[in-house]
């Protein structure tokens, strides 16, 4: 490393591959970062990928303590990532946390067969031997014998629409210690609000909150996440909701982290019922109250 105007810059040594950019942590797989388009083909960061890397580290900062806690408590860990897509989250977690350890498994659940095959091939190429990918819908994975017991950590990053709800169902069925969700757009609540809008407007002023179409969508999304948090609390999880800073390119940057802590919050279920009743969402009871 040398310094140019106070900045640390990597030095290329003649005959060797150029040193990775300073932001790359020691031991990180350069091949993986290229596959994820965080590094360019010639091993550099551009403005976009520098931002992407910052986001990845930011998210990792939330998940690393959960991995640490699980390993300390159990001496092993199983993480299941739902709606994995290209599995960049699973790969980054494996690369940064599990690669140098002898324990810990990551399972990616994804309905698109070509992405599953691609991730499996990449894991083999990188020698990430404790990663598995299943071509299954989230709901079917609940009963899958291909997933071990226990499952410690469940993640779902922008899993489409109700796949986040299915991931919650999975996590509750498997009694996961930690659940990390970045919900995607969920259209179901907004559709139900839309369906009963005229009745709600006739009933009172509250319906002004979702009268305009853009508000119907945004309010629907907010109500969905509130009902999800209450569901988790009704099962004894402590819930933190925060923002995934740096995720400006996405409208969906709400991060929900739930950790199993003990007795359910007493009024969580009653509050869900009250919200469903007040907003005319009783049709969705089975989705959120169980
Ligand atoms: C927007 S992508 C997000 C991918 C990845 N988690 C990320 O953040 O880069 C959502 C992924 O979820 C998958 N998906 C949607 N519904 C699913 C379901 N019910 N079960 C499993 N995968 C699902 C889609 O095929 C898609 O690859």
pLDDT digits (tens, 9 = 90+) for 136-195: 999 999 999 999 999 999 999 999 889 999 999 999 999 999 999 999 878 999 999 999
What's the token pair of residue 230?
């209450």
Mean pLDDT of all residues belonging to the chain? 91
Nearest atom within ligand 1 for CA of residue 184: 1
Q: What is the pLDDT of residues 119-138, one digit of tens each?
A: 999 999 999 999 999 999 99
Residue 198 tokens, joined: 């005229």
- The rounded Å distance from CA 87 to ligand 1 centre is 9
* Cα of 157 from ligand 1 centre, angstroms: 8
Burial label for 64, CB within 10 Å (0-12, 13-18, 19+), is middle
Closest ligand 1 atom to residue 160 Cα is: 15
The pLDDT score that the predictor gives to residue 131 is 98
Q: Which of 6-10, 207-211, 233-237, 248-252 has the least mean pLDDT?
A: 6-10
DSSP state of 251: S
pLDDT over 80 at 6, yes or no:
no
Alpha helices in 174-238 (DSSP H): 187-195, 197-203, 213-234
Distances (CA, A) of 248 to 51, 183, 195: 10, 15, 31
Output the residue whose Cα is nearest ligand 1's atom 1.
Answer: 158
Q: What is the pLDDT of residues 185-201, one digit of tens each?
A: 789 999 999 999 999 99
**Residue 15's pLDDT band (cuts 50, 70, 90):** low
Closest ligand 1 atom, residue 156 Cα: 6
For ligand 1, what atom is nearest to the CA of residue 109? Answer: 21
Of 115, 144, 160, 185, which is best to mutate to test ligand 1, by the most ligand atoms within 8 angstroms of its C-beta? 160
Which residue has its alpha carbon closest to ligand 1 atom 14? 83
Verdict on whether the full-model pTM lies above 0.85:
yes
Sequence-separated contacts (24+) of 144-151 with Cβ below 8 Å:
147/78, 147/80, 147/107, 147/174, 148/78, 148/105, 149/174, 150/74, 150/78, 150/174, 150/175, 150/176, 151/78, 151/79, 151/80, 151/176
Output the pLDDT for position 248: 55
Instruction: Give 27-66 pLDDT, tens digit per residue.
Output: 999 999 999 888 988 888 888 888 878 888 889 999 999 9
- Residues within 6 Å of ligand 1 by CB: 83-85, 88, 109-112, 115, 137-138, 157-160, 163, 166, 184
CA of 197 to the centre of ligand 1 (A): 30
Ligand 1 center from residue 106 Cα (angstroms): 16
pLDDT in tens, 193-238: 999 999 999 999 999 999 999 999 999 999 999 999 999 999 999 9
Residue nearest to atom 18 of ligand 1 (CA): 137
* Ligand 1 site-directed mutation target among 81, 85, 147, most atoms within 8 Å of CB: 85
């Amino acid at each position: 490393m040398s310094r140019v105007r106070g900045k640390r810059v990597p030095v290329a040594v003649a005959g060797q591959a150029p040193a990775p950019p300073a932001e790359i942590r020691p031991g990180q797989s350069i091949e993986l970062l290229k596959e994820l388009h965080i590094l360019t083909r010639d091993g550099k960061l551009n403005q976009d990928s520098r931002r992407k890397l910052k986001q990845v580290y930011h998210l990792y900062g939330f998940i690393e303590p959960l991995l640490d806690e699980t390993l300390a408590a159990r001496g092993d860990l199983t993480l299941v990532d739902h709606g994995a897509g290209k599995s960049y989250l699973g790969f980054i977690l494996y690369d940064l946390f599990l690669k140098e350890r002898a324990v810990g498994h990551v399972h990616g659940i994804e309905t698109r067969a070509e992405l599953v095959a691609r991730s499996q091939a990449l894991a083999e190429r990188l020698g990430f031997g404790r990663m598995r990918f299943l071509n299954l819908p989230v709901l079917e994975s609940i009963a899958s014998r291909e997933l071990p017991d226990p499952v410690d950590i469940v993640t779902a990053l922008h899993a489409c629409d109700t796949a986040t709800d299915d991931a919650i169902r999975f996590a509750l069925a498997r009694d996961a210690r930690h659940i990390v969700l970045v919900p995607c757009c969920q259209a179901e609540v907004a559709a139900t609000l839309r369906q009963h809008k005229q009745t709600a407007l006739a009933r009172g002023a509250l319906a002004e909150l979702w009268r305009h179409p853009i508000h119907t969508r945004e309010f629907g999304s907010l109500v969905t996440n509130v009902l999800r948090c209450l569901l988790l609390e009704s099962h004894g999880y402590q819930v933190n909701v925060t923002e995934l800073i740096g995720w400006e390119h996405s409208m969906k940057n709400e991060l929900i982290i739930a950790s199993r802590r003990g007795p359910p919050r007493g009024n969580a279920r009653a509050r869900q019922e009250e919200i469903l009743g007040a907003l005319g969402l009783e049709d969705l009871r089975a989705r959120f109250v169980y």
